[in-house]
Amino acid sequence: MLSDIDICRTAPLQSIQAIAEKAGLQPSEYQSQGRHKAKVSLQSVKRLQHAQTGKLVVITAITPTPLGEGKTVTTIALAQGMQKLSRSVMACIRQPSMGPIFGVKGGAAGGGYSQVAPMDQLNLHLTGDIHAVTAAHNLAAAAIDARLYHEERLGYADFEHRSGLKALRIDNQQVTWKRVMDHNDRALRMITVGQNESGKTINGFERHDGFDISAASELMAILALAQDLQDLRKRIGQIVVAYTLDGEPVTTEDLQVAGAMTVCMKDAIEPTLMQTLEGVPTLIHSGPFANIAHGNSSIIADNIATKLADYTITEGGFGSDMGFEKACNIKAQVSGKSPDCAVIVATLRGLKANSGLYDLRPGQAIPDTLIQPDSQALIAGFTNLKWHIDNVNQYGIPAVVAINRFPQDTDEEIQQLIELIHALPNKVDVALSEGFAKGGQGTLDLAQKVIAQCESSAISTFTPLYKLTDTLEDKLSAVAIKGYGASRINLSEQAQQQLLRLTEQGFANLAVCLAKTPLSITTDSQVKGAPKDFIVDIRELKLCAGAGFIYALCGNVMTMPGLPEKPAFMSLDIDENGEIVGLS
């Protein structure tokens, strides 16, 4: 089989005008960005506000291995399959971060014959949205350090006299807004800024700081949750970036930088239209993490797609305990639009990894034995799939299992998995997903089953796990107990104090976002399968007042990846014709 970039390069792509027309956009509602990308105006949603809203299908997965189970490829393949069944369909995916592309995993455009194309344009820069997030984020960081510097240098009274501004009296030990960069740059995790040569203070005041990767910016979560430009402006102004010496929150509005940040992100609010290899119109928009943020592509993209198409296929990061939980409890509670059907992607490899019979460690290669047939491991790991089916169903959402088939998977083992699923008490549909090798043709059965579930779910029975009006502690417990199956949460002393302070300061009505390992349903990446009676330890709470949630750190969550010994960038280059080589 050809490499991803070679498949993509030789595919006969349509002009973006043709794709936009096919999607139902009017010429005034999009602006082409070269031949194969377009920015889509939010005017399209306004025009279609009275049109019927299409079905929303969310692709989720079993508890994944670090290699992933193939959600993006299934998302694109399913959309292509639906198109082959003559349905009106669009896909909505997140924008890939460049850090991991240069670091370890290569591109994130799907793969094989189920890709968004051109994949190099999707993976590199796209239409600049992540750069805009980075720029707006770091503008606020520069504003904070400049204010600290001038207020401390001049003294508060002199500062006020000279600038005509009110001194903010920011506590330089309580700046919560770090800087961001779209690279895997380990050395920037913990830094000291504002250093000076002996005795001078011309470079600001020295303090500890650090960089996160841009996808971890609260602005990325805000971009994914905003309803329109004015809502973006409002949310940006609500971001708390620091605390004063009196412990009061300091917002970007206080710094008078929220307007400029919004200006910086004015184009980023428009989703980017592209196409799959089979010409399905696809919107790419935002890319929040699925641990410290909600891990789903944007509400704006969904709003456009569900008005234009009968079926919108999108995905949430990691397993159904992660991105899908947040799609239901965070995203749907903001958008008012809940998923009509969930597709749970499972692989033989991933289920066997969930058996607990293999020694798997994050950052290490998956053992070869895992791709050998192993009936016992499959049965043991199957408990994990069953858990995810039950989890999806508890939200009142029907589930279809998609078995993402790899070339080395045997017919016997696939058949064994299908029989295990058929034997479940709650009748659940299952279909193969062979989109990587066959494109939409490889998901016709899956597409039919998803359509059937969507058509049968005319009356929404959607039930989120909590109401926003519940207390913060109740909301955290709801996710841990109902969402993960834990027995209870355990707040550290620090988290308890933070919970009190956040409640006092009026943030109790926000959603909660648990940041934990995706490699287990529990907070311990070594615990596989479908564990019970575990405790969710919450170390620290972090406020994202602009995004509208408080995230809870359960264990260590890495917000700035590092480069491995032999990074992926080493194989990237241009050839003698100026074409990109080495991107996969």
69 is in an annotated binding site: yes
Residues 189-218 that bind its own copies (CB under 8 A): 189-197, 202-205, 208-209
Among residues 138, 276, 498, 523, which is the contact residue for its own copies, using CB under 8 A?
138
What single-letter amino acid sits at 373?
Answer: P
CB of 580 to its own copies, least distance (A): 5
CB of 387 to its own copies, least distance (A): 32
- Name the burial class of residue 389, with classes exposed (0-12), middle (13-18) and buried (19+) by CB atoms within 10 angstroms of its CB: buried
The rounded distance, in Å, linking the Cα atoms of 191 and 198 is 19
User: Which residue lies nearer to its own copies by CB, 536 or 583?
Assistant: 583
Residue 47 sits in the site that holds its own copies (CB under 8 A): no
Neighbours of 393 (CB within 10 A): 15
Residues 543-582 that bind its own copies (CB under 8 A): 562-567, 569-570, 572-574, 576, 578, 580, 582
User: Which residue lies nearer to its own copies by CB, 161 or 488?
Assistant: 161
71 is in an annotated binding site: yes
Residue 462 sits in the site that holds its own copies (CB under 8 A): no
* Eight-state DSSP code of residue 263: H
The rounded distance, in Å, linking the Cα atoms of 472 and 187 is 35
Contacts of 176 (CB under 8 A, 6+ apart): 240, 241, 242, 243, 542, 543
User: Which residue lies nearer to its own copies by CB, 39 or 388?
Assistant: 39
Cβ atoms of 557 and 516 closer than 8 Å: yes
Q: Total residues contacting its own copies (rule CB under 8 A)?
A: 83
CB of 275 to its own copies, least distance (A): 16
Cβ atoms of 348 and 387 closer than 8 Å: no
Residue 169 sits in the site that holds its own copies (CB under 8 A): no
User: Which residue lies nearer to its own copies by CB, 19 or 450?
Assistant: 19
* Eight-state DSSP code of residue 367: P
Candidates 288, 286, 142; CA nearest to 216 is: 288
User: Which residue lies nearer to its own copies by CB, 258 or 400?
Assistant: 258
Cβ atoms of 439 and 278 closer than 8 Å: yes
Residue that is written with structure tokens 């704006």 in the block:
300
Candidates 389, 363, 219; CA nearest to 287 is: 219
- Distance from the Cα of residue 253 to its chain's centroid: 26
CB of 570 to its own copies, least distance (A): 4
CB of 125 to its own copies, least distance (A): 6
Q: Which residues pair with 276 in a beta bridge?
A: 116
Question: DSSP strand E in 197-340: where?
Answer: 207-209, 211-213, 240-244, 249-251, 272-276, 281-284, 311-315
CB of 252 to its own copies, least distance (A): 11
443 is in an annotated binding site: no
CB of 130 to its own copies, least distance (A): 9
Q: Given the rule CB under 8 A, which of 264-272, 330-338, 356-364, 532-540 is the region that contacts its own copies?
A: 264-272
Quote the crossing angle between the two packed helices 156-163 and 129-154, to the nearest 10°: 120
116, 118, 119, 123 alpha-carbon torsion, rounded to 10°: -110
CB of 129 to its own copies, least distance (A): 10
Residues 97-136 that bind its own copies (CB under 8 A): 98, 102, 120, 124-125, 128, 131-132, 134-135
CB of 45 to its own copies, least distance (A): 14
Among residues 104, 229, 357, 379, which is the contact residue for its own copies, using CB under 8 A?
229
Residues 267-306 that bind its own copies (CB under 8 A): 267
User: Which residue lies nearer to its own copies by CB, 9 or 482?
Assistant: 9
Residues 374-433 that bind its own copies (CB under 8 A): none
Contacts of 472 (CB under 8 A, 6+ apart): 499, 502, 503, 508, 510, 512, 541, 550
User: Which residue lies nearer to its own copies by CB, 304 or 342?
Assistant: 304
User: Which residue lies nearer to its own copies by CB, 172 or 384?
Assistant: 172
72 is in an annotated binding site: yes
Q: Which residues pair with 250 in a beta bridge?
A: 242
66 is in an annotated binding site: yes
CB of 229 to its own copies, least distance (A): 5
Residue that is written with structure tokens 């029989």 in the block:
419
Residue 154 sits in the site that holds its own copies (CB under 8 A): yes
**In this structure, what token pair is assigned to residue 219?**
């602005």
Cβ atoms of 555 and 510 closer than 8 Å: no
User: Which residue lies nearer to its own copies by CB, 263 or 535?
Assistant: 263
The rounded distance, in Å, linking the Cα atoms of 28 and 43 is 9
68 is in an annotated binding site: yes
User: Which residue lies nearer to its own copies by CB, 48 or 140?
Assistant: 140
Residue 159 sits in the site that holds its own copies (CB under 8 A): yes
Element (H, E) at 193: strand 191-193
Q: Report the binding-site residues for ATP.
A: 65-72
